[in-house]
Every structure is written in C-alpha cells, then in structure tokens.
Amino acid sequence: MSTQVAPPEVEKHPMEYLLRMDRIPHIWCPTCGLGTTVTALASALEQLKIDLNKVAVFSGIGCTGRVAGYMKLDSFHTTHGRALPFAAGFHIARPDMKVIVFSGDGDLISIGGNHFIHSARRNLDITVICVNNFIYAMTGGQVAPTTPITAITATSPHGCYEHPFNLPLLAASSGAVYVARWTALHIRRLTNAIKEAITKRGFSFVEVIAPCSTLYARLNKLGTGLDLMKFYHENSIIQHGANLSEVDIDYQSKIVVGKFVDIEKPTYLDCMNAGMKRKFGDKYKPYGGADGNN
C-alpha cells in the first residue's frame, strides 16, 4: 500500500478566468512578446470591467494568430490575413459586442493589407492589436513588410533591401481614430493603450513592437530576449502626438512610441444610419444589429 502525498497547493494564475487553461501551455517561445501582449489585453479587459460575454476576439494565421485560441472569450481563428473582414461581418451583425482583432504584422499588413486599409477607412468599430516582430515567425523567419532594411531573415539572407511599412502612419492615413505604439516592455502603458482602444468608438490601432528571439534576434545576432528588452528600454522614445511621417523603424534604430492619434469621427454604422435617415426619414428604423438574444 503506497502513501500518496497531496501535491502542494498551486497558486492559480490571476488571469486564469480569461484564458483557456485546457490549452495551456501555449506554443509560443520563451521571451516572445506575445505573452506580455496577451497579458496586457487581459489586464485591460479586467480593468475596464466590461461584460466578458460581450467581447469577441478574432485572429488570422501566424504566431499572433494563435491568440484567439488562448483567450476565454467567443473566439475565432480565421484564415491568413482575413481576421479583419471576418470581424467586420461579425461587428455589423453584433454591434453590441466589443470586437478585438489580434494580428501579426505579416498577417495584418501583407496578406491582409487591403482589408486593413479599408476597415480603417470605413471606421468600423473594431480594435486591432498588431504584434510587430519584424518577421514571419510561424513559418520560420521570412522577410515581412515590416522588416527593417539590412535585417537578415530566411528569405532576405543577404539583408532586407525593401522599404518597410510605417504602421502608425498607414493606420492614421487610412482613417483610424486611435493609433498608438508601444513595445512589449511598456506593459503598463500598453495596457492603458489597449483600454483606450477598446473604449474608443471606431477603428483603433495599437502596434506592439515585440521581440522574437528565436528567429529575428537569432538571425540578426541581437542576443537573447532580455537583450531585446534592454534594447527597447534604451532606445524607445516616448513622443505622444509624434509626426507620423517620422516614426519609421530602421534597423536597430530608435523606436518612437506613444499615443499618436486620438480623434472623434462617426463610425461605419453611425454613417450608415445617418445616410439612410437622410434618404428615408422616419421610414428608416436605425439599424442596431441582430437580436442580442439570438
């Protein structure tokens, strides 16, 4: 007869109620910026005290694409680049719900680039959190539309020579009403930005500069995850309302972070309702989405 010793009481993770614990451990590498970014979202949701039943999260494909699978919310893991149009349809059907799109830079801006600019143009009431690690990580470290010039990737083995996108400038010029950029180091400020973005009516965009030590840092000999965090610490410049044409990120350059845009503008559904009212007068019943009771 063997005697069993009761396992020591394991302290529960305080965010457990927001995570699918039956899917943990996650697939992300140690020192990846996604963990802190997801924590920032979870903290933001907690601090906002919003009804979690009324929050849905959408992602596409890639490392960041897996976020939807770990958040304990109504969550949709769609195809590569398509989280935004999927979320757009969902939002229009259910404007009573908060819609959050979690997407990587390649997913959102390369294959999904067209959806990004048009979602911003329409000012759909959607929050987009873009984790920018300058590389396609899930597929093994290929060049991205954000890869800085001279950075080495698996498909830019001689150094990237394409001009990268300046994401805050792209978002703002496409029509986003809220644009911010932080790094995975700025957890508190990032959490605040996500809170503001979720609260904002309209298309809000938060770029998160995140370390990928397995691929980006390794291929470019930038050291460990900790070294990247030190780099962010020493090279981030907080500049709220910065001139967006000057916030490009060059290879190992200074990173301008902050809240860049926070303006008011009628949303897609506001505009639709106003336009139809203009045309049809009292015959038009303002559209409020599907019956919340399904």
Partner 1 sequence: MKADPRNVLTGIHYLDGNHASAEGAIAAGCKFFAGYPITPSTEIAERFARRIPLVGGVFIQMEDELASMNAILGASWGGVKSMTCTSGPGFSLMMENFGLGWMLETPGVLVNVQRGGPSTGLPTLPGQADMMQARWGSHGDYEVIALCPDSPQECFELTIQAFNLSEKYRMPVLVMSDECVGHMTEKVVIPAAEDIDLVERVYTTKSPGETWPFELMGKGITPMQPVGQGHKFHVTGLTHDYRGYPVINAEAQDKNIRHLVDKIRNHVDEITRLGEKDLEDAEIIVMSYGISSRVVQPAVARARKEGIKVGQLRLVTVWPFPEKRVRELAGKVKAMLMVEMNMGQVYFEMERCAAGQTKCYLAPHPGGTVHNPEDIYKTIKEAVK
Summarize as ranges the residues that interact with partner 1 (CB under 8 A): 20, 22-23, 52-54, 56, 58, 68-69, 72-79, 81-82, 84-94, 96-97, 114-115, 117-118, 272, 276, 279-280, 283-285, 287, 289-292, 294
> Sign of torsion, CA 231 149 245 38?
negative
Minimum CB distance to partner 1 smaller for 57 or for 228: 57
Q: Give min distance, CB of 108 to partner 1, in A.
A: 14
Q: What is the DSSP string of 112-124?
A: THHHHHHHHHHT-
Minimum CB distance to partner 1 smaller for 75 or for 153: 75
> Sign of torsion, CA 107 110 111 114?
positive
Report yes or no: 126 and 98 within 8 Å, Cβ to Cβ: no
Q: Give min distance, CB of 149 to partner 1, in A.
A: 29
Q: Give min distance, CB of 81 to partner 1, in A.
A: 8
CA distance 267 to 200: 10
CB atoms within 10 A of CB 118: 15
The residues, ordered by sequence, that sit 6+ positions from 242 with a Cβ below 8 Å of its Cβ are 256, 258, 260
Minimum CB distance to partner 1 smaller for 215 or for 269: 269
Q: Give min distance, CB of 77 to partner 1, in A.
A: 4
Minimum CB distance to partner 1 smaller for 70 or for 231: 70
Q: Give min distance, CB of 258 to partner 1, in A.
A: 30
